[in-house]
Structure 1
Amino acid sequence: MRQFTWDDLQYFLAVARTGQLTTAARRLRTNHVTVSRRIDRLEESLSARLFERNPRGYVLTALGEKLVESAEIMEREADRFQNEASEGTVSLTGVVRLSILEGFANFFLADRMPRMAQSYPGLSIEMVTIQQIVSLSRRDADLSITLHATRTGPYFQEKLTPYRLFIYGSRDYLARHSPIGEQSDLSNHRFIGYIEDMIFTPGLDYMREILPGLHPAYQSSSIFAQLSATRSGFGLCILPYFIACKYPELVPVLPKDLHLNRDYWMICHEDIVSTPRIRALSDFIKSEVKTQSSVFAGERLLG
């Protein structure tokens, strides 16, 4: 057995977590040929097979499974080393992958990210809005913004902000359809919502709370598509105030009587929560959210 290269462990962990050379390569910002070569080199230096190769990807061998924990300990120590070495410095480099809900990403955070880039030009942010395919437990992401706290696992989590959702319709739609004076009148209207059998978290199941038994006539997994259909006059839709308030053609329906309360949570692995790159992004998000707390709460509609 010859001495293995420490740097090869990050390739080992990336493949172990993703099971795919190409996916691991994207995470490491390299190409699949390099990842394959580094895995081969690590196995050769250890005189052991860490993965079984098959048409579906790379699967850990029993020995590979055993070594993942040790490799992750080394990874955490490397992060801690970098953290301690970076104390007091301004320049940050590296990549932070953020798993985030589509509405929060596209309608709040995206247009604020240039300020983050100005403060930390060497830091690269990856925002993944398809949370169904991203797992913190597999370390597919470094930081996650979700609707619920997690009950298990070595995570640091904090409530980011509460927010409210209301029923909206376009002025044109409301003018062309029967008036809405009370909740029972809503059953006479078309609704727009999520695809029911694709709702991946209970917090998005709005219809069950507002109008149990009523199924949306137009369903989409994208809140952007729902917003577009609402603005075009297709029907009514339940939308967060911080999104809908940007469009003057949208009118809230019975806002004081009918609204939903939700929370955004920020979650991260305990072992990296204090690293400079994670702390920089999480502090930035918290600061931006704090300045808009009344907007998230929809206070104007309840006053």
Structure 2
Amino acid sequence: MQCSPNFTWDDLLYFLAVARTGQLSTAARQLRTSHATVSRRIDRLELSLQVKLFERNPRGYVLTAMGQRFVETAERIEAEADRLQADITSGNPAQRGVVRLSAPEGFANFFLAPRIGDFSDQHPNLSLELVTIQQIMSLSRKEADIAVSLDPPKGGPYEIEKITDYRLSIYGSKEYLKSRPKITCRDDLLAHPFIGYIEDMIFAPGLDYLGDVHPGIKPRFQSSSIFAQLTATLRHQGLCVLPHFIARDEPELQIVLAKEIKLIRHYYLVRHRDMIRNRRVRAVADYIVASVEANRDAFLG
């Protein structure tokens, strides 16, 4: 590669934003500029380096082999710039930018979202995008910078850290349980309507747990949303398997067969290896790990 005088640090910022998101529009939003400006800066960088960094296709911008190599160089420069900023501000790194976090709806809405204010206080120059759609966001395609996952990738260029186990139980509203036949064993559950996930829309094996309770259970009401399931349970529509960290804040809910049925699942923190040294992503990861550790009882009961 040969750099011309037109090559600047700003060009690297644009390059990294597109490399991490794969989309001009998303990169433009992160950089608070226009789609056209990002496109122009990428074209200028490629001309300056005299090398093609991206393949353009209908899905967006995909790094070429040379682009993949250049990411490593650009991120080392970015890390050094962050360290310089930290030195200038007396060891208080003022990270700036946007981090996109993908997380399951239950963890995102019922645990993390209420704590976003605390995160913002600690990192006022960081913006957090929290994605909770019912699918696995691709870290390799830069659809997210970091993910909380129920089932970690089986392979690939990822750093995986188990952050906690969490307990689930069968719950029903006190009003519902008071008006229905008493439940003393697993077979009694078959006489009750269940609330659960839509079977062919379960995006992670860890959410497929009714079979662990009783193979004969068929949910009467199904939703891809844990919030909708919780609402139906609170409206006395039936029984539902819920995480303890969600149900514990609902005094109307009561555990069924508490001694006999205790399900355990896990949350993992997943990062692409390209993002391990990224200070913004590390700030989000450290905050999530510390928050979970400080609230361990909420997950395990």
- Could you say which TM-score interval applies, normalised by the shorter chain? 0.7 to 0.9
- Alignment check: 8 A CA contact 1:19 1:59 kept: yes
Deviations 1:239-284 (A, max 9, x none): 0001001001111110111121011111223343344333332222
Among candidates 153, 158, 161, match of residue 156 of structure 2: 153
Q: Which amino acid aligns with 2:131?
A: V
Match of 2:25 in 1: 22
Distance in 1, matches of 2:168 and 2:222, equals 18
Match of 2:94 in 1: 92
Deviations 1:170-220 (A, max 9, x none): 112212322211100111111111111111110011112212253321111
- Alignment check: 8 A CA contact 1:162 1:261 kept: yes
* 2:74 matches 1:71: no
Query: 107-116 or 271-280: which moved more?
Result: 271-280
Distance in 2, matches of 1:159 and 1:286, equals 9
Q: Which amino acid aligns with 2:99?
A: V
Q: CA deviation at 1:92?
A: 2.0
Q: Which amino acid aligns with 1:190?
A: P
Match of 1:182 in 2: 185
Distance in 1, matches of 2:68 and 2:107, equals 34
- Alignment check: 8 A CA contact 2:164 2:267 kept: yes
* 2:126 matches 1:118: no
Match of 1:38 in 2: 41
Q: CA deviation at 1:106?
A: 1.1
Q: Which 5+ residue runs of structure 2 have no aligned equivalent?
A: none
Percent of counterpart pairs with the same letter?
50
Query: 218-227 or 171-180: which moved more?
Result: 171-180
Deviations 1:279-303 (A, max 9, x none): 33222222221222122112xxxxx
SS in 1 for 2:280: helix
* 2:227 matches 1:224: yes
Normalised to the residue count of structure 1, the TM-score between the two structures is 0.85
Match of 1:301 in 2: none
Matches within 5 A, 1:1-303: 3=4, 5-6=7-8, 7-12=10-15, 14-15=17-18, 18-45=21-48, 56-58=58-60, 60=62, 65-85=64-84, 86=86, 89-94=91-96, 95-130=98-133, 132=135, 134-298=137-301
Distance in 1, matches of 2:39 and 2:100, equals 23
Distance in 2, matches of 1:170 and 1:38, equals 58
Q: Which amino acid aligns with 1:258?
A: I
Distance in 2, matches of 1:58 and 1:136, equals 15
Q: Aligned-pair RMSD on alpha carbons?
A: 2.7
- Alignment check: 8 A CA contact 2:245 2:299 kept: yes
Q: Which amino acid aligns with 1:266?
A: L
Distance in 1, matches of 2:136 and 2:38, equals 22
| CA 47–285 in structure 1, closer or farther in 2 if over 3 Å, else same | closer
| CA 50–119 in structure 1, closer or farther in 2 if over 3 Å, else same | closer
Distance in 2, matches of 1:53 and 1:276, equals 28
- Alignment check: 8 A CA contact 1:154 1:270 kept: yes
- Alignment check: 8 A CA contact 1:99 1:131 kept: no
| CA 80–9 in structure 1, closer or farther in 2 if over 3 Å, else same | closer
Distance in 2, matches of 1:17 and 1:183, equals 48
Q: Which amino acid aligns with 1:74?
A: T
Q: CA deviation at 1:228?
A: 0.7
